[in-house]
Structure 1
Amino acid sequence: MIYVDADACPVKAEVEAVATRHGTRVAMVSNGGIRPSPNPLIESVFVDQGADEADKWIAERAGPGDVVITSDIPLAARAVEAGARVLKPNGEALTEANVGNALATRDLMADLRAADPFRQGGGRPFGKADRARFREALERELRRTKG
């Protein structure tokens, strides 16, 4: 099963295409506002409004053999701890080896933003290369979970 933290996920179409090719079920989890797919492998799960409701739903279900797609580092940490494979939308895998560093970096950046209210987000825009990297990474993870 693939669990997608779908509210702000930029690679929903890529997930659907790769999952369909592999015959893998997908749960697109959100607070609403995303259009359900007619694809029988894609389940739209709408959780209550509120902070982290989609994350909680996914974390309660993900485990060994599952793949979680999220940019949310605390959710990624919980999923890794439960034995799931985790990918960020840019294709970066979060594992036991690197999720602790990702959490620490997230916390540091939150502290820096709080200390400097004029500090803007930043980072480069999400592009075609990111989508391609993600597709390749998801293909790899699905082959591993079936292998």
Structure 2
Amino acid sequence: MKIWVDADACPVVIKEIIFRAAQRTQIETTLVANHPMRVAKSPYIKFMQVASGFDVADNEIVQRVTPNDLVITSDIPLADEIIAKSAFALSPRGEMLTAENIKQRLNIRDFMDTMRASGMQTKGPDKLSAQDKQTFANQLDSFIAKHK
């Protein structure tokens, strides 16, 4: 099992939780982004910079992910592709995206895109709360305990 992080939009505090988990569990973890970023120094943590462009980082993750890997992402279409490859997707808010819930999440995402395209003003996601951080850390630890 490996952990992949869709790092372009992943909050710093979530990356820090991931870094600690990778170090503690010695699981190879790769952050993928199209701009440079700092990552913790560890033999278990790698950074892969990809070219700029729409979905370039997502496509790189999809190409490299293998069954039973974990991908940390808030990108619903990416999560759908990951799940189709028998891998797992966890949002930075601690929601495990599964074959059972991903189609509903895609439908909601598409509906909101349609609403925004028609000119409706929508607010973005709520700020990451302390509870979200704790939920993410708990879900990550639970997943690792079950799958390592």
Shorter-chain TM-score tier: over 0.9
Which residue number corresponds to residue 124 of structure 1?
126
Question: Aligned to 1:73, which of 50, 73, 76?
Answer: 76
CA RMSD of aligned residues (A): 1.1
Which residue number corresponds to residue 47 of structure 1?
50
**Partner Cα separation in structure 2 for residue 36 and residue 127 of structure 1:** 23
**Partner Cα separation in structure 2 for residue 18 and residue 129 of structure 1:** 18
> What CA deviation, in whole Å up to 9, does each residue of 1:85-104 have, x standing for no partner?
11000000000000111111
Q: Which runs of 5+ in 2 are unaligned?
A: none
Q: TM-score, normalised by structure 2?
A: 0.93
Other structure's SS at 2:83 match: helix
Q: Aligned letter for 1:112? A: M
Which residue number corresponds to residue 22 of structure 1?
25
Q: Which moved more, 1:93-102 or 1:15-24?
A: 15-24
Which residue number corresponds to residue 135 of structure 1?
137
Q: Aligned letter for 1:48? A: A
Deviation at 1:63, TM superposition (A): 2.3
1:2–1:27 contact (8 Å) kept in structure 2: yes
Report whether the alignment pairs 1:95 with 2:98.
Answer: yes
Moved over 6 A (4+): none
Q: Which runs of 5+ in 1 are unaligned?
A: none
1:85–1:141 contact (8 Å) kept in structure 2: no
**Partner Cα separation in structure 2 for residue 13 and residue 90 of structure 1:** 14
Report whether the alignment pairs 1:109 with 2:112.
Answer: yes
Which residue number corresponds to residue 7 of structure 2?
6
- Percent sequence identity is 37
Report whether the alignment pairs 1:32 with 2:31.
Answer: no
Q: TM-score, normalised by structure 1?
A: 0.94
